[in-house]
Amino acid sequence: MLEQGRQLHMEGRLGEAAAIYKKILSKDPRNAEALHLLGVVSLQIEDFPQAIRLIRNSIAMAGENPDYLNNLGQALYSAGDLFGALESYRRGLKSNPRHPDILNNLGLTLNDLDRLQEAQEAYEAALAQDGSKPDILHNYGVLMQARGNLEKAQESYVEALRLEPRMEHTHLSLGSLFNEMGNKEAAIRGFQAAIELNPFYVEAHEALKNLYWDL
């Protein structure tokens, strides 16, 4: 039954998946995986307090599972508790120091706390473990752009888009990078690519409008 719930979950049928997880828990209240996955559903529907409670309970049952701790960190981060998220990610890394997703999320949180060198180290550690994850490459590119390493930022964005061409936010970031570098034509292409993928992408429309205004 748990596999059926996972399949529905992967298909985005969150309500049906949650119903199965609850059914499992009604018969086996200490099923840590069902509890964890129900917490992940809560995270995805942005019920962050519920997600935090459920995932914490699953960790209390199953121990320091790095995947559980990663998801707890994401729930805490989404709820605005950045220091709680840091603690959760660091606990996860004690169990698995090479977990690329935890390292990526650690970098994102450190970046938000303006601890840029530590964030860079976390992203680079994540990429050393798995350089094929577009979201890590995107986040690393954003940080490199913020730190003035425009060449490295461009490399990261381009590689992210090679792996996943439909990342609208990366097209926007690449467009902003080209604009910063003075390559207006390439910037326009980046913003337009983002809008083609998401016609309601307000930030991309604003960036394109401002660029045309400056021409």
Alpha-carbon span 21 to 33, nearest angstrom: 9
pLDDT digits (tens, 9 = 90+) for 53-108: 999 999 999 999 999 999 999 999 999 999 999 999 999 999 999 999 999 999 99
Q: What is the DSSP letter of 19?
A: H
The two counts, helices (H) then strands (E), for the chain are: 13, 0
- pTM of the entire structure? 0.94
Q: Please state, for a pLDDT cut of 90, what percent of the chain lies above it.
A: 98
Residues ≥6 apart with Cβ < 8 Å to 184: 178, 211, 215
Q: What is the DSSP letter of 64?
A: S
Domains of the chain: 1-63 (1.25.40.10), 68-114 (no CATH)
Tell whether the model's pLDDT for residue 214 goes beyond 80: no
User: How much is the pLDDT for 56?
Assistant: 98
Helix (H, G, I), strand (E, B) or coil at 200: coil
Provide the residue count of the chain.
215
Contact 193, 162 (CB under 8 A): no
Contact 101, 137 (CB under 8 A): no
Give the model's confidence band at 210: pLDDT under 50 very low, under 70 low, under 90 confident, else very high: very high
pLDDT digits (tens, 9 = 90+) for 150-172: 999 999 999 999 999 999 999 99
pLDDT, average across residues 2-22:
97
pLDDT digits (tens, 9 = 90+) for 177-197: 999 999 999 999 999 999 999
